[in-house]
Structure 1
């Protein structure tokens, strides 16, 4: 069964953190963290619709300029999310350039940035044609942990401690629609763009007794009609959706550990930093990072199906296999306690 989302780390484990998640059959992706993104192709970057920034240390936010550079002159709205002071930092980035020739651009580029606080959200829009000056006072919204909610998925956040507020992110698919290819053939149907329309009807909770039309080709030719519920029974298996969680730059303390464990609970994939070896636990505490052992403990307590370590300290160059082995051992011992 093919997943709907394909997450991959942007860089190697010793380089800037970042998780690129592409959408199956869609020209779309989202990004967790915005460090160095030169390893991503321009084609992939242009797919990005939403960027979720854990915090604005340079290795998590330095790729902002690359992102903006590629989107200039394109018809696009980019949604950005970050922790306390995020709007100020976005505005600082934008203020670093001269925008006196923006009238030469015919397309409209909009940056919609949201700053997350424990008590609420603050959203501001920056328009290229307005030289990226704020269009109005920031709009305030209540904070319910959900940053993005669509029919098929949601992205939530948790505020963690890195000596400054640092955000963890989790993307959850509502449910997964698995298409039975053999049954398509029995109905005289082929795989095609109409399946995206079919899945969208399910995510929109369309009436099962409503008529669903299968249309094909650029001319949108009607091929067959079905009752949506009957077609679903014939060609689809509905299973729980994927959950992908991303955690980086956090100190191991009781509050963080409890928050992360609950937040990442039952994730299909957990991407979690394991910056130091356990023998360097004191250094990890001073620098507000996790050890590989601590990451493994959290992964086991959260009952994740799979976890991937990243964001290794340069002091452990050449020792990545030891970091991963330590995390796996910690997870194994924790599961059997």
Structure 2
């Protein structure tokens, strides 16, 4: 009887030990893929050995870790929490694919999932892709509108109406800036404006307005430049007319000093050559800027200055000579008076 009781006790201890080991090895309820949530860590892991990342950098199910198995039974983990974790993995993968515009209608998960789990993953993937694609659609459309190659084709943005609208808005802005710049450039180069026939009417009108406005500004700038040239040729003091205040004032200034700087050089050369009696020869700069009359004017002035200088020199000689004779005369008179006084004595 005692022997039977002893055997019964040993058998009971064996059952208790086996039950405890089983609980520790499988803490928590697993799904069809061998995955489950751990309430103590908040992590979702699989006993199938999935890695954290795949070779292409996509997110994966959390790896199995012995530290997760703390013996706490989390078999009552809410199914919704499992779905959120899987959906977040899909969200990250969707955002990653959106960077390259590589949308997958049926995205490939990082590991084997049940139908329900794949539904969560796919939902997260689409949500992540659409959110990300909405954010980059405008910039991609803008770049394409400017004429640069878009790294994402427009068809990819048709996945969401919001992304498509943003892409079209960015594209329109890029097209507007591109053709306004083209119109201004054509006007600056005196070329006719040529626009594609399929341009939106608003873009066409804005480009034409920019072309006409640039032509008008060019005309005003040319007038200011020519008036600056004329003022300098007349040797007038620098003063910008009121009608050219603003951007056109720079062109007036440019015209004025283009002539003024040349005029000073030509004037100094003409005075020097006229005074020294060198042969009359108009400099090439005077011919280039139509300043021959300046050279002639100051060449003659140089000659006159030479004559005046000579007259001045001769006059100074006569003045010195007259002073000398006057001194001699006074000296002579003084000496005569001295002689007369001596004779009377």
Q: Assess same fold via TM > 0.5.
A: no
Return the structure number with greater strand share. Answer: 1
| Structure showing greater Rg | 2
Structure ranking higher on relative contact order (CA contacts 8 Å, 6+ apart): 1
TM-score range, shorter chain: under 0.3
TM-score under structure 2 length normalisation:
0.16
TM-score under structure 1 length normalisation:
0.16
